[in-house]
């Protein structure tokens, strides 16, 4: 795999001095899907806008396919497609024309069969002759994607692609992203829906206060930060954890009806066998056991709520 997008120590201060990006460095491999997570105002849109040439960086460098976004602007920009966070479309323009113009803007020759393919893929073919103002919110978002795809970009940025869309369209969007990935497109998306990152991302980046806190393979991250809990239901509720079990750091479940044991998913020994033996030795009778694994959401909330060092 080769690096298609390279961001080095990128900083952005807006007029007035506010530092929205505080030295972000990130390499993105061709063909991967990276989900950028972060609270409101973290700098996600600023990062995307800077890479896409909508905002100028204060310092640092970005290359796309080896082309510098400042000195080799045209070549870099031609490789990029952007689906912006805010929907803005020419209200009276027909879907077909809107998408066709986007291709033309990049100096690409007209290609009606290409346009047809894109509109069909996005279920917009039937609406191709409708003015964009007659489309639903979800359809407008699809038009934005069609526009972004019109010039065959190799890297696609999706800024909150599923904000405010219904569950069905969200799933459709995930399918579209999977298809694009299969066709070799690299995708960087921002989202507030953690389950979205969990469902489709190869890697996850967490950004907060203009800083990239981490970038990691999603599966690894979930294994590394993920914790598992084992809840042992007791036949008779207890009021406190028996002293003989103190070293296991157990929590008492609701109403004293269970004991909760938290363990590390990476550990060679989870300690479960010992736990169950010791619980029995303490004279407690087990009614049932169940396990829970922390989700990406638990991990994310834990990360962004930690105090800034
Ligand atoms: N044009 C601008 N001028 C001044 N400050 C700005 C400008 N655009 C964004 N900011 C500030 O930069 C910070 C990062 O904003 P940005 O839009 O990048 O956040 P975000 O992570 O995309 O948030 P959201 O999840 O709400 O979309 C915010 O504090 C915002 O107020
Ligand atoms: Mg944003």
**Between these two residues, 300 and 1, which has the higher pLDDT value?**
300
Q: 17-34: b or e for each residue (b if 16 or more CB lie within 10 Å)?
A: eeebbeebebebeebbbb
Residue 171 pLDDT level (bands cut at 50, 70, 90): confident
Are residues 112 and 68 located together in one domain of the fold?
yes
User: What average pLDDT does range 8-24 have in this prediction?
Assistant: 96
Cα gap 201→196, rounded to integer Å: 8
CA 35 to chain centre: 3
Q: Is 288 found in the same domain as 143? A: no
Whether 159 and 41 map to the same domain: the answer is yes
Structural domain ending residue among the three candidates 223, 250, 282: 223
Give residue 228's Cα distance to chain centre. Answer: 23
Is pTM, for the whole model, over 0.95?
no
Tell me the DSSP string of 226-272. Answer: -EEEEEEEESS--SS--GGGGGG--EE-GGG-EEEEEEETT-S---H
pLDDT at 307 over 60: no
Last residue of a domain, one of 223, 253, 278: 223
Note the pLDDT of residue 121: 87
Query: Of 228, 265, 253, 188, nearest to 7 (Cα)?
Result: 188
User: Which sign, positive or negative, has the C-alpha torsion 126, 130, 90, 137?
Assistant: negative
* CATH number of domain containing 100: 3.40.50.300
Check pLDDT > 70 for residue 266. no
Nearest ligand to the C-alpha of residue 84? 2
Tokens of 203: 């890697």
Assigned domain for 304 exists:
no
Distance CA 185, CA 63 (A): 17
Residue 243 belongs to domain with CATH number? 3.30.70
Ligand 1 atom 9: the closest Cα is on which residue?
A: 46
**What is the C-alpha to C-alpha distance for residues 148 and 156, in angstroms, rounded to an integer?**
8
Choosing from 42, 49, 87 the residue with most ligand 1 atoms within 8 A of its CB, the one to mutate for a pocket test is 42
Please give the angle made by the CA atoms of 2, 162 and 34, to the nearest 5 degrees: 20
Name the average pLDDT for the chain: 90
Q: What 3-state DSSP class applies to 103?
A: helix
Predicted confidence at residue 213, as pLDDT, reads 92
300 domain-assigned: no
Co-location of 26 and 144 in the same domain: yes
Residue closest by Cα to atom 24 of ligand 1: 40
Integer-rounded Cα radius of gyration of the chain: 25
Higher pLDDT, 24 or 86: 24
CB-defined site of ligand 1, < 6 Å: 14, 18, 20, 38, 40-46, 85
Asked if residue 108 and residue 51 are part of one domain, the reply reads: yes
- Residue 266 domain flag: yes
| Separation CA 227–CA 298 (nearest Å) | 10
- Is the residue at 309 inside a domain? no
pLDDT at position 306 is 64
On the CB side of 80, CA atoms within 13 Å amount to: 29
- Ligand nearest the Cα of residue 24 is 1
pLDDT for 299: 75
Shared domain for 236 and 217, answered yes or no, is no
pLDDT over 70 (residue 38): yes
Q: 210's torsion region: left (phi>0), alpha (psi -120 to 50) or beta?
A: left
Mutate which of 40, 46, 50, 191 for ligand 1? The one with the most ligand atoms within 8 Å of its CB, which is: 46
167-182 vs 137-149: helix axis angle to the nearest 10? Answer: 10
| Kind and range of the H or E run holding 212 | strand 211-217
Same domain for 51 and 149? Answer: yes
Of the pLDDT bands very low, low, confident and very high (cuts 50, 70, 90), residue 57 is very high
Contact 173, 165 (CB under 8 A): yes
Q: How many domains does the chain have?
A: 2
In-domain check, residue 247: yes
Is position 124 within any domain? yes
Query: What is the position in ligand 1's atom list of the atom closest to the CA of 192?
Result: 25
State in Å: Cα 8 to ligand 2 middle.
21
Contact 147, 99 (CB under 8 A): yes
- Evaluate whether residue 282 is within a structural domain: yes
pLDDT of residue 87: 83
Q: Which domain holds residue 260?
A: 227-293
CA angle 36, 3, 151 (to 5 degrees): 75
What is the residue with the minimal CA distance to atom 31 of ligand 1? 41
Quick one: pLDDT at residue 270?
Answer: 81
- Supply the residue whose CA is at minimum distance from atom 30 of ligand 1: 41
Q: Please determine, for residue 181, whether its predicted confidence score (pLDDT) is greater than 90.
A: yes
Atom 19 in ligand 1: residue holding the nearest Cα: 41
Give percent of the chain above pLDDT 90: 68
For residues 134 and 281, state if they share a domain: no
Query: Is the same domain home to 240 and 126?
Result: no
Q: Is the pLDDT of residue 153 over 80?
A: yes
Question: Mean of the pLDDT values across residues 18-26?
Answer: 97
Kindly report the protein residue whose alpha carbon is nearest to atom 16 of ligand 1.
Answer: 43
Per-residue pLDDT tens for 213-236?
Answer: 999 998 888 777 767 889 999 999
Clarify whether residues 44 and 164 are in a common domain: yes
Where do the H-state alpha helices sit in the chain? 44-51, 73-78, 95-105, 112-121, 137-149, 167-182, 194-200, 218-225, 272-281, 296-305
214 with 261, same domain: the answer is no
Domain assignment present for 299: no
Q: Taking 60 as the threshold, does the pLDDT of residue 309 lie above it?
A: no
Tell which wins on pLDDT, 294 or 127.
Answer: 127
Q: What's the average model confidence in pLDDT over 181-189?
A: 95
Rounded mean pLDDT, 188-202: 89
How far is the C-alpha of 306 from the C-alpha of 309, rounded, in Å?
9
| End-to-end Cα separation, the chain, in angstroms | 34
The pLDDT, as a whole number, for residue 308 is 43
Answer yes or no: do 182 and 268 share one domain. no
- Which ligand is closest in space to the CA of residue 22? 1
């Amino acid at each position: 795999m080769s690096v298609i997008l390279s961001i080095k120590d990128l900083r952005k201060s807006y007029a007035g001095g506010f530092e929205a990006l505080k030295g972000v460095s990130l390499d993105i491999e061709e063909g991967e899907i990276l989900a950028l997570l972060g609270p409101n105002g973290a700098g996600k849109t600023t990062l995307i806008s800077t890479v896409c040439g909508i905002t100028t960086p204060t310092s640092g460098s970005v290359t796309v396919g080896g082309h510098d976004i400042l000195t080799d602007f045209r070549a870099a920009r031609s490789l990029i497609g952007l689906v912006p966070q805010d929907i803005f479309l020419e209200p009276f323009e027909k879907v077909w024309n809107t998408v066709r113009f986007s291709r033309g803007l990049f100096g690409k020759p007209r290609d009606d069969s290409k346009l047809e393919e894109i509109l069909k893929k996005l279920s917009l073919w039937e609406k191709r002759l409708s003015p964009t103002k007659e489309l639903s919110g979800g359809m407008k978002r699809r038009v934005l994607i069609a526009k972004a795809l019109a010039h065959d970009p190799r890297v696609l940025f999706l800024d909150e692609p599923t904000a405010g869309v219904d569950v069905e369209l969200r799933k459709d969007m995930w399918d579209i992203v999977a298809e694009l990935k299969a066709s070799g497109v690299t995708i960087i998306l921002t989202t507030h829906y953690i389950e979205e990152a969990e469902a489709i991302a190869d890697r996850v980046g967490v950004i907060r206060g203009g800083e990239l806190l981490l970038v990691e393979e999603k599966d690894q991250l979930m294994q590394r930060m993920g914790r598992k809990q084992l809840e042992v239901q007791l036949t008779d509720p207890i009021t406190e954890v028996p002293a003989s079990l103190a070293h296991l750091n157990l929590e008492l479940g609701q109403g004293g009806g269970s004991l909760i044991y938290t363990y590390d998913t990476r550990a060679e020994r989870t300690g479960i066998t010992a736990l169950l033996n010791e619980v029995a030795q303490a004279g407690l009778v087990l009614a049932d056991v169940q396990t829970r694994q922390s989700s990406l959401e638990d991990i994310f909330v834990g990360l962004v709520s930690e105090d800034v060092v």
